[in-house]
């Protein structure tokens, strides 16, 4: 089992320089604590630092640690993104993992002038054209939404044939698609354990059907403290507020009924988060290990939490929990 840390994007009222300082410090603490990777989220029109540029800066501070980042492919230009990721893969010595998602926030699609109804087609075509750009000297790709005509190669990534690609998916059809177009499936933070357990079987069957290999990675909310009560007292106000905000933006609309996030906090917590004392966190992680999850990316800070509260949990996770899986 490998472990990554999702780097929180900053607190309200912070300047960009303060966000950068705190993010670098958190990445350094994660490396010292024994995490295998540091991750940044994707998206646009937020107050966080642009993901690719941030990861490029982090490569100088967490040398030897894997880096991962997520992109909303329907909003990306394939030539530009393929070139940026080739460069980033070179800077980190071939230790890059790229997660790709369709996106869900209407205001982001509206800002780019892209109808939400086109997101699946653009997602598939952008990924297909990027793979060609990474592997072919000439690319003449013509889809319904994406056209790429280049007669000279872009810079090749260090990873061959290209960086590891994970598809973030919630719905069964998206998980089956991940088995055919990517190196792995990335489980959403919103999915509950029973849903993941069933979908893991679906993903493995889809891999078998096409004769492919693939890995399951899970994105989880996590916090460890001396006791579950202590952990809950720290995280509840922040997590509850964040999920209420996500639900108000439409984040719950594509989820199965069992995975709804517009529910009371106790129901939200059930079978979804890795929270408690070290023994409780180990038991939760073991459950994912048993169904074939190979890596867990932990988000351990949320709006309203202090940097020190995050550091305390990152360090305890590194000293008390992660060594049990080495």
Packing angle of the helix pair 78-91, 51-58 (nearest 10 deg): 10
Residues 311 and 26: beta-carbon distance below 8 Å: yes
Helices 172-181, 119-135: axis angle to 10 degrees equals 10
Q: Shortest CA distance to 323 belongs to which of 287, 297, 285, 291?
A: 285
- The Cα–Cα gap between 313 and 275 comes to 10
6 pLDDT exceeds 90?
yes
Residue 47 has pLDDT above 70, yes or no: no
Using the predicted structure, report yes or no on whether residue 11 has a pLDDT greater than 70. no
Length of the chain, please? 326
Average pLDDT value for residue range 172-196: 93
Residue 17: band (very low, low, confident or very high) from pLDDT cuts 50, 70, 90 = confident
Apex CA 312: angle with CA 304 and CA 226, to 5°? 105
Provide the 10 A C-beta neighbour count for residue 158: 16
pLDDT of res. 255: 62
- For 97, the 3-state DSSP assignment is strand
Per-residue pLDDT for 8 more than 90?
no
Is the pLDDT at 261 greater than 80? The verdict is no
Q: Which CATH superfamily is domain 2-325 in?
A: Luciferase-like domain (3.20.20.30)
Q: Percent of the chain at pLDDT above 70?
A: 94
Higher pLDDT, 50 or 219: 219
* Backbone phi, psi, residue 186, to 5°: -100, 120
- The token duo for 243 is 């999920």
Q: Residue 303 — pLDDT band, cuts 50, 70, 90?
A: confident
Spatial distance between the Cα atoms of 31 and 25, rounded to a whole number of angstroms: 10
Is residue 251's pLDDT more than 70?
no
Q: What is the pTM assigned to this prediction?
A: 0.91
In the prediction, which pLDDT does 263 show? 77
Instruction: Report, as an integer, the average pLDDT of 233-246.
Output: 82
pLDDT tens-place string over residues 185-234: 999 888 899 999 999 999 999 999 999 999 999 999 999 999 999 999 99
pLDDT (average), residues 31-39: 96
Query: CA 34, CA 277: separation in Å to the nearest integer?
Result: 18
pLDDT of residue 250: 62
Mean pLDDT, residues 78-95 taken together: 96
Instruction: For the chain, report the end-to-end CA distance as a whole number of angstroms.
Output: 7
């Amino acid at each position: 089992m490998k472990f990554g840390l999702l780097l929180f994007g900053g607190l309200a009222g912070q300047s960009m320089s303060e966000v950068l300082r705190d993010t670098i410090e958190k990445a350094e603490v994660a490396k010292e604590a024994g995490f295998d990777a540091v991750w940044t989220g994707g998206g646009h029109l937020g107050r966080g630092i642009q993901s690719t540029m941030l990861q490029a800066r982090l490569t100088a501070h967490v040398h030897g640690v894997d880096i991962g980042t997520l992109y909303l492919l329907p909003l990306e230009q394939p030539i530009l993104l393929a070139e940026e990721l080739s460069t980033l893969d070179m800077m980190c010595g071939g230790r890059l993992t790229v997660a790709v998602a369709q996106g869900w926030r209407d205001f982001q699609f509206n800002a780019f002038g892209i109808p939400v109804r086109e997101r699946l087609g653009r997602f598939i075509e952008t990924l297909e054209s990027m793979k060609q750009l990474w592997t072919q000297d000439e690319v003449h790709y013509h889809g319904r939404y994406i056209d790429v005509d280049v007669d000279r190669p872009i810079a090749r990534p260090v990873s061959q044939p290209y960086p590891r690609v994970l598809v973030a998916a919630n719905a069964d059809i998206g998980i089956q698609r991940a088995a055919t177009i990517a190196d792995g499936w990335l489980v959403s933070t919103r999915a509950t354990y029973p849903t993941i357990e069933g979908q893991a079987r679906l993903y493995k069957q889809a891999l078998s059907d096409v004769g492919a290999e693939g890995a399951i990675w899970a994105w989880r909310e996590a916090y460890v403290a001396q006791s579950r009560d202590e952990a809950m007292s720290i995280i509840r106000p922040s997590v509850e507020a964040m999920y209420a905000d996500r639900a108000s933006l439409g984040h719950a609309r594509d989820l199965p009924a069992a995975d709804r996030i517009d529910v009371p906090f106790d129901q939200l917590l059930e079978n979804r988060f890795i929270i408690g004392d070290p023994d409780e966190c180990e038991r939760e992680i073991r459950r994912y290990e048993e169904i074939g999850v190979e890596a867990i990316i932990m988000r351990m800070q949320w709006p309203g939490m202090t940097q020190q509260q995050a550091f305390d949990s990152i360090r305890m996770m590194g000293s008390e929990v992660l060594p049990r899986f080495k």
